[in-house]
Amino acid sequence: MKKLVVNKKYDGKKIVNFLLGEFNNLKQSSIYKALRKKDIIVNDKRINENIVVHTGDLITIYITDEQLYGMQIKLDIVYEDENILIVNKPAGIAVTESTLNEQTLYMLVRDYCKMAMPCHRLDRNTCGLVIFAKNGTSREIIMEKFRLREIDKYYVCIVYGMPYENEKRLQAYLFKDNKKSTVYISDIPKPGYLTIITQYKLLSCNKEKNISLLEIKLETGRTHQIRAHLAHIGYPIIGDGKYGVNKINKNFNAKAQYLTSYKMIFNFKTDAGILNYLNGKEFSISFENYTKLLLD
């Protein structure tokens, strides 16, 4: 069951057009079936016709998530205790809010544990580990530990090209353009640009394909940092539709970007209160599909 409020954009429009506009994967046939079954309610009244809706109308629909969002995602829990939950996020789903009316990781986690709250985010098309807190105290601690860089985050990615150096600590400056939903990288300080530090380590490469598997460790966590920083130095991530190269992505038939948050290490240097027991613990997930692309 979902509740929606009609905004000005759909004032005077048919309810079918409203629902199609709100849910990109919803089919007309599913809406008309719901109308026949009177599974759509407008302002507390069940309807069975394609009526006109107006600004402020409250719409309640009884249509499955699979029909609304086009996929049914299973929650992949990597670790859980009384205070935190670590989930493996799939690519193609936002952690929290989305500009589209679609399923988010937060919604999935809340269905499993109503008290869970996200402690950080990943880009929509980046998969991997996300920490949720089960209580306010744990969330404050985890967010503080991220701020103090006492939780080490490691990523793996496949880039086009082969770095000359096997390991390097990169420093640059990043500007976020909120209107264009993109970031820009500069090698020199500029007004409005924030410092970014990205470490990489070459794990393996395929000279014939001219691609490399890198491990990334973030010292700063800015929006799109890894993707934009690597593209800036000439090693775009395979499958990245924003900072990558479309021709290269097509050559590798990449449907999603090859970037995964695969490992976290709790490396507390200051007191962590009720979460002190996590100090020294490491959590990771497999990235076998990356090795397959590299070797095939």
44 SS3 class: coil
Q: In CATH, which of 3.20.20.70, 3.40.50.2300, 3.30.200.210, 3.30.2350.10 is domain 153-261+289-295?
A: 3.30.2350.10
What residue ranges of the chain are covered by domains with CATH 3.30.2350.10?
A: 153-261+289-295
Report in angstroms the alpha-carbon separations of 149 from 18, 72, 152, 205, 206.
45, 35, 7, 30, 33
Of 19-28, 156-165, 287-296, highest mean pLDDT: 156-165
Alpha helices in the chain (DSSP H): 15-22, 28-36, 65-69, 105-112, 136-147, 225-232, 246-251, 288-295
Residue 111 is predicted with a pLDDT of 87
What residue ranges of the chain are covered by domains with CATH 3.10.290.10?
A: 2-69
Please give the positions annotated as active site: 123
Residue 181 is predicted with a pLDDT of 87
- Name the pLDDT band for 26 (thresholds 50, 70, 90): confident
For residue range 79-121, list pLDDT tens digits in order: 999 999 999 999 888 898 755 456 789 988 998 999 999 999 9
- Name the pLDDT band for 2 (thresholds 50, 70, 90): confident
Residue 136's CB is within 10 A of a number of other CB atoms, namely 10
Rounded to whole angstroms, the Cα distance separating 228 from 143 reads 24
Average pLDDT value for the chain: 92
Can you tell me the mean pLDDT for 21-40?
89
Can you tell me the mean pLDDT for 45-74?
85
Report in angstroms the alpha-carbon separations of 164 from 125, 205, 207, 258, 293.
28, 12, 12, 21, 21
Of all residues in the chain, what percent are helix, strand and coil, respectively (each to 5)?
25, 30, 45
Residue 10 is predicted with a pLDDT of 92
Can you tell me the mean pLDDT for 238-264?
93
Contact between 258 and 290 under an 8 Å Cβ cutoff? The reply is yes
- Name the pLDDT band for 67 (thresholds 50, 70, 90): confident
Residue 142 is predicted with a pLDDT of 98
Q: In CATH, which of 3.10.290.10, 3.40.50.80, 3.40.50.880, 3.20.20.80 is domain 2-69?
A: 3.10.290.10
Q: Any bridge partners for residue 277, and if so which?
A: none
